[in-house]
Amino acid sequence: MILLTGASGFVGKYAVPALQLDYNLTTISLQNTDISIIDFASIKTVVHLAGMAHQMDKADNGLYFNINHKLTLDFAMAAKKKGVAHFIYISSTKVYGEHKGKIYFNEKSACVPTDAYGESKWKAEQDLFEIADEQFIVSVIRPPLVYGHNVKGNLNNLLTLIHKFPFVPFGNIQNKRSMVYVGNLTALISAVIKLKKGGVFLAGDSAPYSTSRLVNTMIDKAKLNTKNISIPIFLRDILRFLKPDMYVRLFEDFIIDNTETNISLGFTPPFTFDEGVAEMVKK
């Protein structure tokens, strides 16, 4: 039996029906349940998806640490005490932080988180590996930006823009950004469950793509007439000054190399980028 948290979240809503095809799965909300009364008797594996998502607007840093770190560790320790054999934690590539000039990260890259969200995830990872042993295997999966149907945040904002305006200003951007379709992330989780392998694993599609390629594919799959135009360099510089975080996400590189993950698990992402984007733009 597998116990999954975070079933009501973006990834959880996809993962639950997908994983139920192959596993005996039950779900639990840690928001509404006291950890001390959870019945782990028949649970062999835990998939811990629940957590406080990264907020673009300022959020209470204490909440990140209470939910992503403390709650995760308390939950894992309770699971270990009750005999759970495998704990899978969905972390984030935010643990690497923002490193200007260093664009490639792999499973062994140094983690230097630069915000409370990334730090809370990193602290949770460290403490989980501290309590891991032969009877309690810990697997950490770090996804980059996750996309798919009913996506939230910046990608949903992009969807709104391409539907609302005849022109959008994301043409001729030559960056590379790693992303992962939620179906590929779920397939990776399934591979980790099957092999019961501990360690750090990186989720990702088969290749990184530029912001322009992403937007153009969204327009194409949504069958829109929206034109994706290039804006002058000086306007990009203004954006860099006024909205540096947004500039980084739109124009700079973030590439993960998950070759080691895929080889160690014998894993190939089952969905293409185009298939994932087509699902994302469905109404």
The count of other CB atoms within 10 Å of the CB of residue 14 is: 20
pLDDT of residue 59: 63
pLDDT of residue 56: 54
From the list 202, 209, 200, the residue with the least C-alpha distance to 276 is 209
Predicted TM-score (pTM) of this structure: 0.94
Do residues 254 and 197 touch, judged by C-beta distance below 8 A?
A: no
Q: Which residues are CB-contacts of 60 (< 8 A; sequence separation ≥ 6)? A: none
Do residues 44 and 85 touch, judged by C-beta distance below 8 A?
A: yes
Tens-place pLDDT, residues 122-161: 999 999 999 999 999 999 999 999 999 999 888 999 999 9
CATH T-level topology, domain 2-148+179-205+255-271 = Rossmann fold (3.40.50)
Phi, psi angles (nearest 5°) of residue 140 = -115, 125
Return the domain boundaries, the chain.
Answer: 2-148+179-205+255-271
Tens-place pLDDT, residues 179-216: 999 999 999 999 999 999 999 999 999 999 999 999 99
pLDDT of residue 57: 56
Q: What residue ranges of the chain have pLDDT lower than 50?
A: none
Q: Which residues are CB-contacts of 213 (< 8 A; sequence separation ≥ 6)? A: none
